[in-house]
A and B are shown apart, each in its own frame.
Chain A
Amino acid sequence: MVTDDAGQGGTAAGRNNNTGHQGGAGHSMVQLITPAGERVSHPEYDPWLKDVSDEQLCSLYEDLVVIRRIDKEATALQRQGELGLWPPLLGQEASQVGSVRALREDDFIFPSYRENGVAYCRGVDLADILRVWRGAASGGWDPYTVNMAIPQIVIGAQTLHATGYAMGIQNDGADSAAIVYFGDGATSEGDVNEAMVFAASFQVPLVFFCQNNHWAISEPVRVQSHTQLVDRGTGFGIPSMRVDGNDVLAVMAATRVALDRARRGGGPTFIEAVTYRMGPHTTADDPTRYRDANELEDWAAKDPIGRVHALLDRKGLFTEEFETGVRTKADAVARELRAGCIGMPDPEPLDVFKHVYSTPNSWLDRQQDHYSRYLATFGDPEAATQEEGAR
């Protein structure tokens, strides 16, 4: 099924100019599950989902629910003072699950800071997902054990890293691909545009995955772009798709199309996943200052989890046993997340000097030596830290 925004089962485009699609006739949006949970066929995309069995559909549903639970638990941990900050992904679960579940293990992911659902699906240790937000590290995991780069906070900077990495894949003659996640706001950054120039020029195996969640903190997408974001890719000569980002199957099919093109030497693809950030930008943000409550209501009707739930119901798969199983899993993950967060040891004082360089550096070695001596005057480095805090 192909719809425009207004036909997506809601009235957002009609009601609020802030989030309606931008000018031009533009691309139509691919949707395979309606908000009511109806599976609609699409001649181009259906072939890419032939292997998705009922069992796998149930598994995708479990991913969506668990990720929402992680997000909720992390938000609670922030409110309880255990995390300094948290960027909620509420509403974007299908974009993250559909894309990451389309990848092979040897494909490499470059995320922004909001892809915590992607990290979970990639097998990142739960405590490691929170490590950055607790302030115990600037990067939580070893990228090479999960083939996923650490979170990037500078908007759009990672699109160039992904492009360079994909140049490396190309040089190596490998048939893997890279995927880079970024938001609607990032498309305004020079780096994202430079990345598309490089990726198109060198025809590298890369998927540009733009989650258009409609808001860059308080700025609506119309401030970023006068055209549909998907047109950005087209303008660089990059084949582009616009999909319903709240539809896990549409996202998965589109990502598979893009990955297949990359593996066959067909170069980069741009995907605009049209979704919505239901929560604040981060826990420090207050969207009620800039966002219409009606808009939230419209998007709630297009919920990515609700529609898979309805689809499973129609298929007779949403049994009590299944529901209990999913809930048990989500509870277990939430417990593990909380325990991992609270049990995370604080870094040692001298850790501040670690890993600045991989080879000795005389300036830093001297500063570390002097600070060690200073700490030693307190007898116990831990005590020194507390003393400092008490002043």
Chain B
Amino acid sequence: MTQMTFARAINSGLRRSLDNDPKVVLLGEDIGALGGVFRVTDGLQKDFGKHRVVDTPLAESGIVGTAVGLAYRGYRPVVEIQFDGFVYPAFDQIVSQVAKMHYRSRGTVKMPITIRIPFGGGIGSPEHHSESPEAYFAHTAGLRVVTPASPQDAHTMIQQAISCDDPVVFFEPKRRYHDKGEVDESLDPNSAPPMGQARVVTDGSDVTLVAYGPLVKTARDAATAAADEGVSVEVIDLRSLAPVDFATVEASVRKTGRLVITHEAGQSGGLGAEVAASITERCFYHLEAAPVRVTGFDVPYPYSKVEMHHLPNLDRILDGVDRALGRPNSLSGLEG
């Protein structure tokens, strides 16, 4: 076990994938000599060469579209989109080409492409640098969407994504890049929990709190704070956003009877809506209260001096827990 940052853990996972499979190639802006703007690809071009770690022109559709061609040729491209808000020029190639080529070709053309996107807010950046576009991709058939929340998961899940024969959109919670954790670099990704499986982070009996990516840490902190007030919160890290491992969430809700979902993305049409609806369908009679969503607002990502109001924090999550429990909360007395 080694202590390392989240960013370093992904770097180590990428290195292992490049080592293990000559068909793995990395493409992106500034990923070579600079090592990426977050240094996630630091040193990889030096060690694997310019044909394995490719500095591309500044064209997102080009990056993803050429990855489609490389996959056609039998490669396993890993592309880096520099920031969440820059993925939109590549949206057509991702949803119309990457996602659908396997279906369109009746299974003859595989698209084992990993699309790495640093996502989420909280780093004080200007517009386009702090978005949470995961629902667009989770809504697209043919894509898998995952997001690790710990350095160990980052290390294993990036390797699992690269070896997956389906395309994977890999969201990296950028405000956790510098968080440190224990990582077992020798862990075999095949023996680790599969990337499609959710994880119970904290056991609890009163409320199920579902989070993913950057908010898993916040959710865990909220559970610790709630425990001080005598409320037992079970925290689940979804890890996979498409498909969501509803079995794990359902088992928890059958136990607690209450569900709170939190994410940074805006509320309407978001992952929280999907989780709330699906869990309600699956175990309506086990719910003691309506599912509660604690999310970002339906606003363009705000400028950094007010972003703390947009991002769910420990207190807003605890307020949501109170709503699920029917305890006094900010919306008490409000109908409809």
Contacts and interface: CB of A to CB of B under 8 A. Distances in A.
B300 to A, nearest CB: 23
Contact of B69 (A167, A172, A194): A167
What is the predominant secondary structure among interface residues of chain A facing chain B?
Answer: helix
B56 interface: yes
A166 B108 CA distance: 19
Contacts of A150: 104-105, 109
B246 interface: yes
A160 B68 contact: yes
B75 A168 contact: yes
Given A356-B142, A362-B245, A164 B102 contact: no
Interface residues of B, number: 49
A157 B102 contact: no
Interface in B133-168: 141-142, 144, 164-166
A355 to B, nearest CB: 4
Nearest to B164: A359
A164 B47 CA distance: 23
Contacts of A164: 65-73, 77
A364 B61 CA distance: 28
A362 to B, nearest CB: 5
A171 B106 CA distance: 27
A164 B59 CA distance: 13
B59 A194 contact: yes
Interface residues of A, number: 44
B106 A157 contact: no
Given A190-B61, A362-B196, A160 B93 contact: yes
A361 B242 CA distance: 9
Interface string A238-279: 000000000000000000000000000000000000000000
A358 B165 contact: yes
B57 A194 contact: yes
A330 interface: no
B69 A165 contact: yes
Contacts of A364: 141, 243
Contacts of B72: 108, 143, 149, 161, 164-165, 168
A137 B59 contact: no
B103 A356 contact: yes
19 contacts: A110-B69, A138-B106, A142-B106, A143-B108, A150-B104, A157-B65, A157-B93, A162-B69, A163-B65, A163-B69, A164-B72, A166-B69, A168-B70, A172-B73, A194-B59, A194-B65, A198-B57, A354-B103, A363-B244
Interface of A: 108, 110, 137-139, 142-144, 149-150, 154, 157, 159-172, 178, 190-191, 194-195, 197-198, 201, 354-359, 361-364
